[in-house]
Structure 1
């Protein structure tokens, strides 16, 4: 991966982290105030705020893990078992985000404050996010295979060096 690509991705990750902190500091308190005045959704105010905060946290966890993986790419150490730990955390965060989508639909489903179509869309969104988690898991499996092949190549190279 080129240096420019790594820098560009780090800029995007940095901007995403700044935006997520702004959401936590500015938007969440504003949402809390707005939900407190609206009588239709006042009873789901606390679960809704918790789901939003946890969702932002999941995005931040993914950004930090991707940043760490980029550092490993830059150093040329991405094909180690340490990379698998970061990918595992990413998969867990994405799976958690899928569960949060389903939880948001469950919180909003009772009552008439939200249309049933919105709850259905949240269910589809949860399935889509779960699908992303599965795709990342497949990529993790491919990384594990590449790590195994790299280790095997090192052993074969060492044996060849001994023969020569």
Structure 2
């Protein structure tokens, strides 16, 4: 358990920094970057607000995952990770990741129809594939947590 405590503190520090970085990206970086794009390439200016909405929502999904991970770390530290309470946090992670993936699929379909060159569509397709793998991996991890929780409950009943 000491190892878990030594890992949880630095992981939480990194999660807090990541969350802060995402807030900065949502409030400053993305709006500024897309405003600059609209000024430099007026023919793409109509994409400014849809892309900003997409970026802010994608980053919000990442923030949900960070908050849920923070709470799951608390459950790990308190040795309550194999409880029914953990499933709400894991479900929120799965739903946030699924929402982010679906938005990415929509952007992929839109830009594939819009752009003639292969570069961006291929990159987006790779991101869609990787995102799908991560979402499905989280579903499998949730099933493993369910199985481990059931086994622990059965073991506690025997003892």
Q: Please state how far the C-alpha of 1:110 moved relative to its aligned partner.
A: 4.1
Unpaired runs of at least 5, structure 2:
none
Structure 1 position 13 matched with structure 2 position 29: no
Structure 1 position 39 matched with structure 2 position 22: no
- Number of residue-to-residue matches in the alignment: 156
Unpaired runs of at least 5, structure 1:
158-164
2:5 is matched with: 3
TM-score (norm 1): 0.88
Structure 1 position 66 matched with structure 2 position 69: yes
CA–CA separation in structure 2 for the residues paired with 1:34 and 1:106: 25
The structure whose Rg is larger is 1
TM-score (norm 2): 0.90
Range 43-52 or range 72-81, more displaced: 43-52
2:156 is matched with: 154
Find the partner of 1:78 among 64, 71, 81. Answer: 81
Range 20-29 or range 35-44, more displaced: 35-44
Q: Please state how far the C-alpha of 1:80 moved relative to its aligned partner.
A: 0.5
RMSD over aligned Cα atoms: 1.6
Q: Please state how far the C-alpha of 1:47 moved relative to its aligned partner.
A: 1.4
Range 135-144 or range 27-36, more displaced: 27-36
